[in-house]
A = this chain, B = another copy of it.
Amino acid sequence: MTLNTGAGLKRDRVRDFLLDFVADMRAGEAIPSERDLCKELGVSRPTLRAAIDDLVRSGVLVREHGRGTFTGPHRVTQALAATPSGSFYAPPAEGHWLSRILEFGSAPAGPQLARRLQLAPAALVLRVVRLRVVDDEPMAIERLHLPHLLVDGLVPDDMESGSFYRVLRERFGVDVRSAVQTIEATVTDETEAALLSVPEHFPALMVERTTRDVNGGIVEFTRSIYRGDRYRVTSELHFDAASG
């Protein structure tokens, strides 16, 4: 167990060594302790930690304070192959989609939300935060905001499974018609990373969506964080003659 004597930064050589070392381990297995690795590789702990930092950032390793450092729960390459393509609105039937409700309650809109939902700032808004899970793998965090008046009587169970839009239509007579969404690149913050089981600063998509009903009234404003390694957005576009 020794380091390549090749050129390059020591930190990078340590990183590459660890990458090889980890390659034929199963997910979630522990690697040797930092102090042991230092002795075996003949590098200082800061150097070793810098190498591990890289691998933690890229999701290969996961640290647990007081317990050890473990191989990541998944490989990114595997993850990419499993990515469900399709629109955000019609997730593929494959896999067991579930929602874990993290937050459910009403409060006054406040200035920002009031503008987004075109309500008075004092109007009540139902705020729901849910974790979307497919086959026991967290996929996304959705933060939904709906005018409370529109969905009075909605209970958390309504959002645990099945189609929320169907519930809106059948129970509340709200007929969703159109949406404007913006997609942008971001990275996870601490809270999001923990919920999605990915490292902090992991690539992610932030999607903001404003949905309107048939009358043009705003039904919801939703801000979601999707895991970058599990989600891709596919869309088809058509051009008319004037485009260029």
Give the Cβ gap from A203 to chain B, nearest Cβ, in Å.
4
B239 & A181 in contact (Cβ 8 Å cutoff) = no
Give the Cβ gap from A226 to chain B, nearest Cβ, in Å.
7
Give the Cβ gap from A168 to chain B, nearest Cβ, in Å.
9
Give the Cβ gap from A197 to chain B, nearest Cβ, in Å.
16
Query: Among B166, B180, B205, which residue has its beta carbon within 8 angstroms of that of A244?
Result: B166
Interface residue ranges of A186-235 to B (CB < 8 Å): 186-187, 201, 203-205, 226, 228, 231-235
A226-B85 contact, Cβ under 8 Å, with A57-B201, A203-B203, A237-B179: no
> How would residues 155 to 190 of chain A score, 1 for a CB under 8 Å from any chain B CB and 0 otherwise?
000000001011001000000111111111111000
A237-B178 contact, Cβ under 8 Å, with A185-B186, A232-B184: yes
- Copies of this chain held together in the complex: 2
A185-B163 contact, Cβ under 8 Å, with A237-B87, A243-B89: no
B186 & A237 in contact (Cβ 8 Å cutoff) = no
Instruction: Point out the residues of chain B lying under 8 angstroms from A83, CB to CB.
Output: 184
A236: interface (CB < 8 Å) = yes
Interface size on A, residues (CB 8 A): 40
B182 & A185 in contact (Cβ 8 Å cutoff) = no
Instruction: Give the residue name and chain of the B residue nearest to A178 (CB).
Output: B238
Instruction: Point out the residues of chain B lying under 8 angstroms from A226, CB to CB.
Output: 185
Instruction: Point out the residues of chain B lying under 8 angstroms from A90, CB to CB.
Output: 243
A179 & B236 in contact (Cβ 8 Å cutoff) = yes
Instruction: Point out the residues of chain B lying under 8 angstroms from A187, CB to CB.
Output: 187, 203
A180→B234 CA distance, assembly (Å): 7
Instruction: Point out the residues of chain B lying under 8 angstroms from A46, CB to CB.
Output: 46
Interface residue ranges of A116-166 to B (CB < 8 Å): 163, 165-166
Instruction: Give the residue name and chain of the B residue nearest to A232 (CB).
Output: B184
Question: Which of A87, A184, A187, A238 has the most chain B CB atoms inside 10 A of its CB?
Answer: A184
Query: Among B234, B239, B244, which residue has its beta carbon within 8 angstroms of that of A177?
Result: B239
List A residues at the B interface (Cβ < 8 Å): 46, 57, 83, 85, 87, 89-90, 163, 165-166, 169, 176-187, 201, 203-205, 226, 228, 231-239, 243-244
> Could you list 11 further interchain pairs (A-B, Cβ under 8 angstroms) beyond the known A169-B244, A185-B226, A235-B235?
A87-B237, A89-B237, A165-B244, A177-B239, A178-B237, A178-B238, A179-B237, A181-B237, A182-B233, A182-B234, A186-B228
